[in-house]
Structure 1
Amino acid sequence: MKRILLFILTNLLVMITIGIILSVFGVSSYLNESGGIDFGSLLVFSAIVGFTGAFISLAMSRWMAKMMMKVQVLKPEDNLSYGERQVVDMVHRLSRAAGLTHMPEVGIYESNEVNAFATGPSKKRSLVAVSSGLLHELDENAVEAIIAHEVAHVANGDMVTMTLLQGVVNTFVVFLSRIAAWAVSRLVKEELAGLVHFIAVIVFQIAFSILGSLVVLAYSRHREFHADAGGAHLAGRDKMIHALRGLKAYQDRMQDSQQTAISTLQISGKKRSALFSTHPDLEERIRRLQAG
């Protein structure tokens, strides 16, 4: 969840920074001489700011994941242990089966949590990483299915699709926040209108970004079902169900723990309110696979 929130926060900070810079240099001239709004100019301005924020976050995603999670990248030519070599071989074998022509980077990060994630700016520059806890807690079949799930995320282009969605959400956030700020600035004295508009833009942008994040999180839950289906296709449905049951057993044991899964495109999420969850309930994911 923290990783999703960091992605959204990065978008927000980039949007605010770009908005301020463009305002300082007079680029954001969406207010016309009569004090009204040129909606065409505002929409173009909003799209520039919104999509720039999303694509900068996408470009930074693999680097941020490595830094945050302290991922040890495993290269095939390195002197790897048996377990590390097995993880690399699984990722490469499943990636070829998924039709990927460029193999993802493979990594392991030290954590007691049972999890894995995929991220990166494109299919050619992706990263699939697993936690040490996952390798210790689950058997080989479950690990294979979980890696297949993450490879399916890469093959489905979920990182780019999520970024495009975030760009659209950002555009509406920038657009609506400035309309709301303009309306508020009309309620104060003329000499204070500029300052009030500037502050109100930031406040409304934060508020609308929180609401917009619900759309992003809803898509995050939706894509998990597709990645489960992709993982079942690559590794086998029985293995995928077996892996999700293993995650459910782990989740039940850890439900009172303070540990939190923090990676975008991860296999498992901590239980929380459905609206603010990055992942559907594991029981529902298992049920859909069994019904499919």
Structure 2
Amino acid sequence: MTDPNGAVPTYPTSLGTSTATEINLLGHDLAGELMGKISFGELAYWLVATRRPTPGQLRVFEAVLVALADHGFTPTAIAARVTYLSAPDSLQGALAAGLLGGGSRFLGVTEDCGQFLHAAITDHTANGNALPTTDADWDEMALDAIARQKQTGKHVPGLGHPNHKDGDPRTPVLIGIAEDAGVKGPHLRLFEAIGRMSERGVGRKLPLNGAGVCGAALADIDLPVELLRGFALLARCAGLLGQLAEEHRAPIANQIYMSVDRNAYYVEPDLPAT
């Protein structure tokens, strides 16, 4: 295709190109230099950050992908299974249905928490303030961040979990991995402080959830906070494919559908008085 002046337009990219004889990805020969030599996690990081992760960053990144892959019969999994029941000829539709359910209550908390922490850190350092060096100073910063969030009328992302009332088992493990890998940074430190200060700031002690700690960890390994939900969806795509494989082997979606359909009953709508 040419432009009106007859010149051939060009489209620069730092990602992938191909010719009749080769595929080039990230400036490397895909077949000769990448396949069998790097992991999928390393490639996913590299595609977004446009640089290879350090060993510590890769270890944390892949731990996050594992942490977010599957949590059982969540709404995203049920949506995927029921869509597969309705359209077994459209595996991509079933996967998409599950991924479309990633929002403010499921999966999206990863991005929400990362952005919340990043904004608090950016605001703190905007006036030339140094980041805290003691737990007490981090706690003070956490209380300020919680108060600011409460003023907006929004919940503090990363706090609380519907099942793990006494603590999400993923949270301390991921923090420990980040520390051991040498990539525990300000986002995780502020996140820990928010957990310590939740009772004072929110009014009740709430656990730090796994989606939130994943957001903090991803921000600490220098991934753009505006894209963190994408990594949660990347992880959940693997989990949803597992859910659909199990649905194919041992289907339950029709049982879910029949249970709802056969137990539905009509009620008069509760309309406002005119």
Q: Same fold (TM over 0.5)?
A: no
Greater Rg by CA: 2
More helix by share: 1
- Higher RCO, 1 vs 2 (CA within 8 Å, ≥6 residues apart): 2
Under a length normalisation based on structure 2, what TM-score does the superposition of the two structures give?
0.29
